[in-house]
Amino acid sequence: MEQYIEIKAANPDSLLFYRMGDFYELFFDDAVAASRALGIALTKRGKHLGEDIPMAGVPIHAADDYLQRLIQLGFKVAVCEQVEDPAEAKKRGSKSVVKRDVVRLVTPGTLTEDSLLEPRRSNFLLAVARARTASVGPGDGYGLAWVDISTGEFRVAETDGARLSADIARIDPREIVVSDVLYSDPALAEFWRGFKAVSPTPRDLFDGASAERRLAAYFGVGTLDGFGAFTRLELSAAAAVATYVERTQIATRAPLSPPVREPAGAAMLIDAATRANLELVRTLGGERHGSLLAAVDRTVTAAGARLLAARIASPLTDPAAIAARLDAVEALVEAPALRAEIRARLQNAPDMARALTRIAMDRGGPRDLAAIGQGLVAAASLADLVAGTAAGELAAAAEGLALPDAALAAHLAAALAEDLPLLKRDGGFVRPGYRDGLDETRALRDESRRVIASLQTRYAEETGIRTLKVKHNNVLGYFVEVAQQHGETFLKAPLNETFIHRQTMAGAMRFSTTELGQLEAKIAGAADRALGIELDIFAELERAVLDRSDAIRAAAGAVAVLDVAASNATLAAEETWCRPLVDNSLAFAVKQARHPVVEQAIRGRAPFVANDCDLSGSDGKSHEPRGRIWLITGPNMAGKSTFLRQNALVAVLAQAGAYVPAASAHIGIVDRLFSRVGAADDLARGRSTFMVEMVETAAILNQSGPRALVILDEIGRGTATFDGLSIAWAAVEHLHETNRCRALFATHFHELTVLSRRLDRLSNATMRVKEWRGDVIFLHEVTEGAADRSYGIQVAKLAGLPSSVVERARQVLAELEATDRSAPTRRMVDDLPLFAVAPRPVAAPAPDPVLDLLDGMDPDDMTPREAHEALYALKARRVRTP
């Protein structure tokens, strides 16, 4: 317990997994917390200061499952192992404690095991450094550095306070590392609370003066000049994240790639609220299913899925880079046979990048080596398939696929058995015939075990005790076990000359023999020699793989690129999507666009109604960049929100380098995408629904520029009518005159439609509806013009409001529409009985036989005579109807 307390004191913010035999044990408060979080038994072991010591434990073989659950709950875990052979400890005395130490800190951002990672999602660790400077814009400057140690990816960037939240949302880190000074800044306290895993660390990690030296030391180079030019803030963040990785991995160096700098403005800026509203990679409920990513993902490899997610989360702003991606997609769209063959061969490509990392960190097993071998074979076959292809990024992918040599793959295939264990310590992973000495040792080991079985049979026959068993444990080695009543016989002559008593159990006795002792030494020696040879072979294979790590990593990246291109091409062919034209203009002209998620969700139940949208910026009078604004009116349930979102998603897909769900699309680069759709509150931060709406609207109006695309829905509806109308009115004018951006503005304030008379770039559009017998039919079509009303009562009726409520609402609406809207409050109080007792529920109207007869007629199929007879029948029915 002294040893435990000392190690725990050095890791106060982590649960300590303390190795004891075949279990990781936890004590004191750690045991209580783990018991509650994992649902495991809480026991006790000894006393400390007169109090029972709480204890809980998990078996070693199931530790990964428990670690995953703890990490998901936000815990950090310090893994404490025995770092000394117990035999060495005994040399210091029989009471000596085996030395133990923490070998690794497991945190959400530093995972490498397959069982702890999501295969199709990156696992980023982000470091944020701050410097109070105006070098990158108004306010504080920030340096960002993020790594995925499971693949080695390492990127850096610089941002400012206005963009910080959006950049973090784009990276989507599992864990954020900040200095304790930055974490405790009162101005940012609320900001950091918005993230699940934020790790404050000592400020020395972010020391800018030593950052370059520490980073160079991590990569074993004298200077960082070969990696590119970095700002002081970027170096500070990069050194912090590398040092944090070093401290959590302790004795193991994570094989990170050299840092790559992302220039400012290289990606479309999408803030966290917009990402949530548009459900780019996850739905509002946090699920992948139902998101844009789930709808467009046709990848067949885990690496390809991660790359596609990164591209959806971070669309490009460089038309040339976008065109290179689109060229690759187009080439595969036009070659369906080639595309099908590529996808078939990609099925055989394991996750080489993560397997390589585990091997480099000495956490790999035989299956990781096999994954590298299988991946290299798949890469070579893909290289042959796309050799000579010069379409966009396919050319670079073909080069990457051809880098590794075939000899390494052949070497791994020759060395590894077909059926592989998970861990190298289990042995049995080397193919028979690969190493002569190993085969001989295995034969000796296996033959000795057969001798044990025959020995048990002989002992049973000689003694006449059929229940006699030869068993083994780590204390006694091999021994003979018999029931208690037979054991008394073994203690007497002549059996006591052969069988030596070793242990008495409840109901059983154990004995050893000279023959068993000699056989045990032979078996143990053979098994240990065989495992030792296999471990030497494993080390040789590891070195061979690591010697080619750069080529393997390049091939893994090329496989991902090829998978994404083939995925996008498959999607385009299956869904009849088009290649967008993306340039530096202010165009936004989309023909027959559809919402990719909704269209797939309703397929088979209803056709999706496609719509056009043209926000292309041109006023014909000025060279100043200006975009158009569509003011969209119409009832709820008519498809306004779907129309708004689908145009935003078209921009995201186009700049991610994918085809889009439309007949044609011309997209001028969108540098910032803003979407304010739907209603939500944030009660934990003291924000009402309307306050959240205003905060998000403020961000849009303060940050949008001419190249932005803005999606706004129902601004001002969360407050009083004239307050809301005034806010919406002013917001439209600001978007038109100050932001000058391309925008879609949906509203129920029909008064706003008059703005089109004096705002030359504002156009009115509406959702088409049709009324039939008091009900409304939604056509989901967008057309020019303005809605005359919102049809809210009809929608309420469809929702199932009681008929008395619907009828009362009709009465009130009729009164209001006939009233002077300039004094609604006085009219409501003085003239309308709004506060009178509600009338009794109105009975449903009796069926009208005339209308029933009309419903049964089809004018298009009637002859003139039939129509004439029907008219007489209607007249007769009307006369008879009271």
Q: Could you tell me which CATH number the domain at 297-405+548-573 has?
A: 1.10.1420.10
In the numeric block, which tokens belong to residue 587? Answer: 């165009």
* Cα(299)–Cα(797) distance, integer angstroms: 44
Give the residue ranges of the chain where pLDDT is below 70. 132-139, 618-624, 678-688, 718, 720, 773-776, 788-792, 794-795, 798-799, 816-817, 819-850, 852, 856, 877-882
Give the homologous superfamily in CATH for domain 117-264.
MutS, connector domain (3.30.420.110)
* Cα(500)–Cα(522) distance, integer angstroms: 20
Looking at 85-134, which runs of residues are DSSP E strands? 100-106, 125-131
Question: What is the number of other CB atoms lying within 10 angstroms of the CB of residue 718?
Answer: 18
Number of residues that make up the chain = 882
Query: In this structure, which topology does domain 436-531 adopt according to CATH?
Result: MutS, DNA mismatch repair protein; Chain A, domain 3 (1.10.1420)
Residues with Cβ within 8 Å of residue 703, at least 6 apart in sequence: 162, 672, 674
| Helix runs in 741-823, H state only | 792-799, 803-817
Query: Is the separation of the CB atoms in 3 and 27 below 8 Å?
Result: no
Query: Is CATH 3.40.50.300 what the domain over 578-591+603-797 is classified as, yes or no?
Result: yes
Quick: pLDDT tens for 196-222. 899 999 999 999 999 999 999 999 999
For the full predicted model, state whether its pTM sits above 0.85: no
DSSP element (H, E) containing 880? helix 864-880
- Which residue in 767, 354, 378 sits closest to 558, CA to CA? 378
* Cα(25)–Cα(685) distance, integer angstroms: 39
The answer to whether 143 is a known ligand-binding residue is no
At residue 825, the pLDDT reads 40
Query: In this structure, which topology does domain 2-106 adopt according to CATH?
Result: MutS, DNA mismatch repair protein, domain I (3.40.1170)
Query: Is the separation of the CB atoms in 737 and 625 below 8 Å?
Result: no
Classify residue 79 as left (phi > 0), alpha (psi -120 to 50) or beta: beta
The answer to whether 790 is a known ligand-binding residue is no
Q: Helix (H, G, I), strand (E, B), or coil: what is residue 512?
A: strand
Quick: pLDDT tens for 519-551. 887 777 787 889 999 999 999 999 999 999 999
The answer to whether 138 is a known ligand-binding residue is no
* 839: β partners: none
The answer to whether 641 is a known ligand-binding residue is yes
In the numeric block, which tokens belong to residue 547? Answer: 């010697």
Question: What is the number of other CB atoms lying within 10 angstroms of the CB of residue 742?
Answer: 31
At residue 880, the pLDDT reads 53
Please give the order of strands across the beta sheet that includes 100-106: 43-48, 51-59, 23-27, 15-20, 77-82, 100-106
The answer to whether 638 is a known ligand-binding residue is yes
